Structure 1
């Protein structure tokens, strides 16, 4: 039995690797904009959960005897839900808005094992530093935050610009180990059976 990660996220893979697991990587493409649009004015937590579910569902049929994990993260700043900035210009603008602010990083998880599934969104409060304009531009130009929810990482260069988090740090990086552990237990599985020997 394997953990199958329906994601191309190097951060999610790194979390599992650090926790002793070599997941089978099966990244999938879903139309995130269409899924979010179909939900209308749904609460932010439902949006990220739906995106995670779409990714897990796209892969799960191929791996009925394995545990499939889909995930998606977005930053809720005020009432605005933000995904990946994708460009240097968007990243700079986002950081000008979020520097010194507090926001919620929402991570949707869909974990499937056969007919069983856990669908849940974790919420972690993130307080951003009052980063200087020079550092904001340098960080954006580094390329690191372009494909990250909320235009930041916790575990790399972005760590310089995060003053505080309240909640699950692994969830901010992209995958909640506590939530995954609870899901595995609910399926009658143990975490240790997925560790590399």
Structure 2
């Protein structure tokens, strides 16, 4: 897509997330996916005590900034999601046993899923954030029996090791919930509609 100056605006997604790539593919967005080299835990540690949405947004910006420095002529899209349950933040499970512990803790509680995105480009030798946005969905987890958790992990591990919240909403993970309040794309891991609006403003998509 060409911007007002007639130059093509290349978009790079700072992620290899299958769900984020699927969203952009389905929406017809041209992009290249390149994973960002970022110590996410260090960013989270610096923001200890901050609201979940702020942390997700900061991680999105940091991912995009880390990649933009190596791609000075592109617009970089960073995105991140995190889960908060009863005030406790949860990262992706490192093992099946940790996934089991997460699911047992989530049982019967409300999961807040924060998804954010940011657009960054190099300007004057520095990475500058052009736009960022965070959204939150509330997912009510039903009471999960030990048998259900065992059967669920047999089917879904290790695939859900790459997800916060230990679920893929487009698969068996939907069985975890009684009710979902919020945007579907936020649940998938990126606030897509605001992203598309920002990409139109940046000349990546036709207005």
TM-score, normalised relative to structure 1: 0.87
Q: Which runs of 5+ in 2 are unaligned?
A: 1-8, 124-128
TM-score, normalised relative to structure 2: 0.83
Shift of 1:20: 2.1
For residues 1-197 of structure 1, what are the structure 2 equivalents within 5 Å? Answer: 1-113=9-121, 115=123, 117-141=130-154, 142-143=156-157, 144-187=159-202, 189=203, 191-192=205-206
Q: What is the number of residues matched between the two proteins?
A: 192
Shift of 1:126: 1.0
Runs of 4+ in 1 over 4 A off after TM superposition: 113-116
Comparing 18-27 and 148-157, the one that deviates more: 18-27
Shift of 1:23: 2.6
Higher normalized helix content (fraction of residues): 1
> Alpha-carbon deviations, 1:53-89, whole Å to 9, x = none?
1110011233344331111111110111112112111
Larger radius of gyration: 2
Counterparts of 1:10 and 1:23, CA distance in 2: 14
Q: Which runs of 5+ in 1 are unaligned?
A: none
